Amino acid sequence: MKILLKKGLVLMLVLTMLVSFAGCGASNNEGGEDAGEAKTYSFTLSCDTPEDSVTYLYAQKFKEELEAATGGKATLQIFANGTMGSDVEATESCLNGEIDFVALTTAPMVNFIPELAVFDMPSVFENIEIARKAVDSEFFNQLEGIYEGYGFKILGFADQGFRQMSSNKMVTSMADFEGQKIRTMENPYHIAYWRAIGANPTPMAFSEVYIGLQQGTIDAQENPYETIVAAKLYEQQKYIINTNHVIHLVSLVTNLNKFNSLPEDIQTAIVESAQTAKVWAREQADERIGQRVEIMESNDTEIIELSPELKKEMKEAAAPVYDMIREKIGDELVDSLLDATK
């Protein structure tokens, strides 16, 4: 019933937009100028996150920049909190031309673009600066072609920093991972990684994680700081271990055919607005990470930095996961990302 209601909302929105477009083709100017000069564009954007999130802030900044760049010719309505469906449902609606933009992490997009498993390779990026440089490099151009092959246009990647481990056990060596029951997403590469370093990965619905930690069903979990604080998971954990194992990218995508059907000035405004929003959202992410550290430390949760030696051991142990991903998506994209980190 929930899915049907969401599908119905999408349909109603599409019909409203069609009526809007039909009524705005005539010029508001006298003297017979080109009717196209008066045309306006009403766009929609879906994100499955609350307003207090980097994903939403990214979308909001994109809206502000786009509307300013077009002088109001283009307007954008944002639907947050999964109003238009889950990330997967909204992405499907975008592919079908029912929603114009979707802001979401790369993980759900793997359902549509298997090659995005390249971002599931653990311990690829030494720090966030290298990660951002890599996804903005020629590697991005390669990804553009891949997205387009599946009917999408990728406009850019913001992020929420790295996914980190939280636990009630301090981790300073590989032996400390041994046997820890850690909640992960239902992702075969993530599961394989935690097994490779000795932990006991346990997929679990996110809604059950807090209680799982509280009751001892699980010992640990992994998420970006943003999520750890929003869900107050730190209340049940003594340590945040900065494993930096996978970057938590936030992508902004649109329907390729719909984008290509737009006038050149609107296309340019969309691309440039997305670029500005991406840079701004990354700045917000950095600021919020510092704020979240303060929140966790005020709860006596200790932040643990791993030694370079331990990080190297973890990356070496992850080699079988790289092999899994290579087998799934081929060597070319994997090697391109690795080259972009040098």
Query: pLDDT, tens digit, for every residue of 233-270?
Result: 999 999 999 999 999 999 999 999 999 999 999 999 99
| Percentage, residues of the chain above pLDDT 70 | 89
Q: Quick one: pLDDT at residue 35?
A: 47
The lowest-confidence range among 9-13, 58-62, 276-280, 317-321 is 9-13
* Res. 21: pLDDT tops 50: no
Backbone angles phi, psi at 156, to 5 degrees: 155, 170
Q: Look at 339 and 33; give whichever has higher pLDDT.
A: 339
Q: What is the pLDDT of residue 76?
A: 98
Average predicted confidence (pLDDT) for the chain: 90
Q: What is the pLDDT of residue 181?
A: 98
- Rounded to 10 deg, the angle between the 138-149 and 128-135 helix axes is 60
In this prediction the pTM is 0.85
Confidence band, pLDDT 50/70/90 cuts, at residue 37: low
Please report which confidence band the pLDDT of residue 302 belongs to, taking 50, 70 and 90 as the band edges: very high
Using the structure block, give the residue that is written with the tokens 């100017």: 29
| CATH code, residues 2-29+40-340 | 3.40.190.170
Q: Which of 159, 177, 175 is nearest to 167 (CA)?
A: 177
Evaluate if residue 20 carries a pLDDT over 80.
no
Percentage of the chain lying above the pLDDT 90 cut: 85
- Are 224 and 164 in contact by the 8 Å Cβ rule? The answer is yes
pLDDT of residue 19: 37
Lowest-confidence region among 1-5, 93-97, 231-235, 276-280: 1-5
With a cut of 60, say whether residue 13 has pLDDT above it. no
- pLDDT (average), residues 122-128: 95
Residue 222 contacts residue 165 (beta carbons within 8 Å): yes
Residue 3: what pLDDT? 47
The angle formed by the CA atoms of residues 156, 53 and 146, to the nearest 5 degrees, is 25
Handedness of CA 311, 314, 316, 322 (dihedral sign): negative
| Residue 303: pLDDT band with limits 50, 70, 90 | very high
Residue 163 confidence class, pLDDT cut points 50, 70, 90: very high
Please give the sequence-ordered ranges of beta strands (E in DSSP) within the chain, or none if there are none. Answer: 41-46, 74-79, 101-105, 152-167, 181-184, 200-203, 220-224, 239-255, 302-305
Q: Where are the domains positioned within the chain?
A: 2-29+40-340
Mean pLDDT across 77-90: 94
Report the pLDDT averaged over residues 52-72.
97
3-state helix, strand, coil in the chain (%, to 5): 55, 20, 25
- For the four alpha carbons of 254, 106, 281 and 234, in that order, the dihedral sign comes to positive
Q: Kindly report, residue by residue over 199-226, the tens digit of the pLDDT.
A: 999 999 898 999 999 999 999 999 999 9
The residues, ordered by sequence, that sit 6+ positions from 129 with a Cβ below 8 Å of its Cβ are none
Q: What is the pLDDT of residue 38?
A: 62
pLDDT at residue 198 in the model = 97
